[in-house]
Amino acid sequence: MDLDFSKALQRCLDQVGPGRVTTCGAIARALGDIRASRAVATWIATRPETLGGHRVVRADGRPVLMSASREFSREGTRLFRGRVSADRILNVLEPTGFLTTLREEQWKLGDRVIERDGGLQVERVAGVDAGYDGNAMRIVAVSLDAKDLALTEITAVKRQAEFPYIPTYLAYREFPGIEAAIRRLKRPPDVLLIDGHGRLHPALFGVACYVGVRLNIPTIGVAKHPLVGRVRPGTRSPSRTSPVEFRGQVRGYAWTPPGRERPIYVSIGHRISLGRALEVVRGSTLRGYPEPLRLADRIGREMKRNKRNEKREKGATR
């Protein structure tokens, strides 16, 4: 499957000739999902060399690129108060099917998710977290002893993010880095916690499901914010746990850990039952957030900070 976002974007831009412009929303719809609007703007803004990128405007007619006015002058496109006239805007582009194909894949792979434990014995629980510095992505994976939550192993990989952040398509951005980090662990984890959703996803196939199915390992989705679903009213228990319903079934739990005011959202990724997933998350949480994910995030931030300090020190000695 072709995951080249830049190629799909270029197919959209090639439809916009000199003297015309299009919007981020129109491109997103042509790609297959309006959720991609912000990603289109960010991609072009951070890659101003994109051919035809100057012909992309926001919904109010303002160019995404500050330098677009020079190109507009050459093409005879005028700006009035910093905006392109509405009669110059192409609001409908020929569909590329790019994101539509990815969504279809999510639905198809979702049928392969196993929601059973299968005799799962958890001795090592791992967590993985992605951090960004511009277009560079750093993925940190940590493995902990499930009994005492002692840190046993750390791996990290850094690579360019070739796919933008688009809500509900996170797996296509982060999976290459996650796979590389997990495969570097000397001992494969018995279960992997993912900083993102599993079954609590529009296609019932979030990043935790994608990683689990692709790597064939037990995974659990843990997220700070809801994506889909409805917390069942009046079910708050002394354990501070409430079922989350989506498409007529309980697909996850909203659980408020000790030391935290807002709940986190737990759902099945792959090869685990929902009850066991909640049990693992609770058992790996000391305060606020599951230790595997908290440590992976902290270590990733420390690596980023240390790298920046090194650059400052090198610059100061020149």
189 and 211 in a single domain? The answer is: yes
Q: What confidence score (pLDDT) does residue 228 get?
A: 98
Query: For residues 126 and 144, is the Cβ–Cβ distance under 8 A?
Result: yes
State yes or no: pLDDT of 298 exceeds 70. yes
Which residues contact residue 230 at a Cβ distance below 8 angstroms, ignoring those fewer than 6 apart? 244, 245, 246
Q: How many domains does the chain have?
A: 2
> Which tens digit of pLDDT belongs to each residue from 205-223?
999 999 999 999 999 999 9
> Which tens digit of pLDDT belongs to each residue from 110-155?
999 999 998 899 999 999 999 998 889 999 999 999 999 999 999 9
Residues 180, 185, 187, 190, Cα dihedral to 10°: -60
Query: For residues 174 and 168, is the Cβ–Cβ distance under 8 A?
Result: no
Query: For residues 255 and 231, is the Cβ–Cβ distance under 8 A?
Result: no
Query: For residues 131 and 154, is the Cβ–Cβ distance under 8 A?
Result: no
- For the chain, the straight-line distance linking the first and the last C-alpha, in angstroms and rounded, comes to 47
70 and 162 in a single domain? The answer is: no
211 and 149 in a single domain? The answer is: yes
> Which tens digit of pLDDT belongs to each residue from 66-106?
999 999 989 988 899 899 999 999 999 999 999 999 999 99
Mean pLDDT of 237-264: 92
Mean pLDDT of 228-253: 87
Q: What is the largest CA-CA distance in the chain?
A: 69
Give phi and psi for 71, each to the nearest 5.
-65, -35
Question: For residues 296 and 275, what is the distance between their CA atoms, to the nearest angstrom?
Answer: 24
10 and 34 in a single domain? The answer is: yes
Give phi and psi for 176, each to the nearest 5.
-55, -40
Question: For residues 142 and 277, what is the distance between their CA atoms, to the nearest angstrom?
Answer: 18
Q: What confidence score (pLDDT) does residue 308 get?
A: 76
Q: What confidence score (pLDDT) does residue 156 get?
A: 97
State yes or no: pLDDT of 8 exceeds 80. yes
Any domain includes 226: yes
Question: For residues 98 and 137, what is the distance between their CA atoms, to the nearest angstrom?
Answer: 23
State yes or no: pLDDT of 237 exceeds 70. no
Please give the helix or strand (H or E) that residue 132 lies within, else none.
strand 124-133
Q: What confidence score (pLDDT) does residue 234 get?
A: 63
Query: For residues 276 and 120, is the Cβ–Cβ distance under 8 A?
Result: yes
Domain boundary among 96, 120, 144: 96
pTM (global) more than 0.85: yes
Q: Structural domain of residue 16, as residue ranges?
A: 5-96
218 and 84 in a single domain? The answer is: no
Any domain includes 29: yes
35 and 127 in a single domain? The answer is: no
Give me the residues paired with residue 155 across strands: 141
129 and 73 in a single domain? The answer is: no
CATH number at residue 285: 3.30.2170.10
173 and 201 in a single domain? The answer is: yes
Q: What is the DSSP letter of 113?
A: -
Q: What confidence score (pLDDT) does residue 232 get?
A: 85
CATH number at residue 34: 1.10.10.10
Domain boundary among 69, 96, 123: 96
- Burial code (b: 16+ CB inside 10 Å, e: under 16) for 127-145 equals bbbbbeeeeebbbbbbbbe
Helices (H), ranges, 255-290: 274-283
State yes or no: pLDDT of 236 exceeds 60. no
